[in-house]
Amino acid sequence: MKRVVSLCLVLGLVLLCFFSCGNSTFDKAVKHLEDCGLNSMEYDQEQINNIMSSISTAKYFSMDGKITRINHCVKSQANGSLKWAYLYEFELESDATNMLRYAEVIGEYCVSSGHIVVYGNAPEIEGIEL
């Protein structure tokens, strides 16, 4: 009987971990933009490495840690213009703060919390709860 109870507890814990992993703040922000009709593309590690390499030579922005995730969301408008948003997740909160300063200059809309920065020209960004 003790083995059955222990097995049920372990199985319950594994299921809890499995389902809670997919609900990160970053994922919720991406889902919000997708629900608003933007198409999203998550960058792979090679693309992230290329961006980190270009940042290392930039004069306007520097990083002490790594970028852990990037997602780019876009939507074509009827008038031919594009709505866009970039979502960045950083290893260090200080890097997110530095990116927010840069994003506020080039993006019409910016939201940030902790290690995550979202910026772009899509008004839907303002509806993201981080």
Is 37 in contact with 75 (CB distance < 8 Å)?
A: yes
Q: How confident is the model at residue 2 (pLDDT cuts 50, 70, 90)?
A: low
The more confidently predicted of residues 7 and 42 is 42
Which helix H or strand E contains 109, and what residues bound it? Answer: strand 109-113
Q: Identify which of 73, 79, 85 has the alpha carbon closest to the alpha carbon of residue 34.
A: 73
Q: Look up the pTM and report it.
A: 0.80
Average pLDDT over residues 20-29: 79
SS (H, E, C) 34-80: HHCCCEEEECCHHHHHHHHHHHHCCCCCCCCCCEEEEEEEEEECCCC
> Residue 102 has what pLDDT?
86
The answer, yes or no, to whether residue 36 has pLDDT greater than 80, is yes
